[in-house]
Amino acid sequence: MTINYPNGQAFALDRWETSHSPNRVDSFGNRGMTLEDEINKSNQYYLANEIAVIHKKPTPIQIVSVDYPKRSAAKIKEAYFQRASTTDYNGVYQGYYIDFDAKETQNKTSFPLQNFHEHQIEHMRQCLNQQGICFAIIKFVTDKTIFVLKASDLIRSWDAQFSGGRKSIPRTEIEAKAYKVDYHINPLVPYLKAVDQIIN
């Protein structure tokens, strides 16, 4: 099946299917587990224990071509993302609207701002203007270190790049401004501890 972004660029479906396969070994020791997988597991724990209701946002897809090999089965052959996505997750925690994006980087010393798109940053601005709790969860893959960076700090760095600033956020700056989140058993990524600090 082929799925394309609105600009016609192909979506890496094979990589997505691999990361979402039900046959994957789903454990903390799984080196192939993405940050998204880890957050999804954490959100399942938060939901099951009535701590928070936070879900990954569905991405609307427009189906273009469908193959019907037999009456009881249909296979999507081509589809397009209908519009650019905003952030990955949203929900409610202790009466607060929560909205955030999750990003990984192989870079050891900085986080490239190109990992975000302008429409995502603008969405974060809008959420902050409505008093929402908005942030980015950033994972440095090489040493599996996770940080929760407030949207206000991310936006400040984003804006600065257009007036001669860096095109990335130094890891040292992230370590100074963000909240480090250590892996746990349940939830796997206890990012709401960082949210508690943002609220307070």
We report the CATH number of the domain holding residue 41 as 3.40.1350.10
Handedness of CA 48, 50, 54, 59 (dihedral sign): positive
Q: What pTM was estimated for this model as a whole?
A: 0.75
Residue 135 maps to a domain = yes
Taking residues 17-32, what's their average pLDDT? 41
Residue 10 maps to a domain = no
Residue 173 maps to a domain = yes
Q: Does the structure show a pLDDT above 70 at 29?
A: no
Residue 130 maps to a domain = yes
The structural domain count of the chain equals 1
In sequence order, what are the residues at sequence separation of 6 or more whose Cβ sits closer than 8 angstroms to the Cβ of residue 55? 43, 89, 90, 91
Domain of 185 in residue numbering reads as 35-58+84-199
Residue 121 maps to a domain = yes
Residue 175 maps to a domain = yes
The CA-based dihedral angle spanning residues 83, 86, 91, 94, taken in that order and rounded to the nearest 10 degrees:
-160
Q: What is the structure's pLDDT at 71?
A: 66
Residue 74 maps to a domain = no
Look at 16-25, 41-50, 65-74, 148-157 and tell me which has the smallest mean pLDDT: 16-25
Residue 100 maps to a domain = yes
Q: Say what percent of the chain tops pLDDT 70.
A: 76
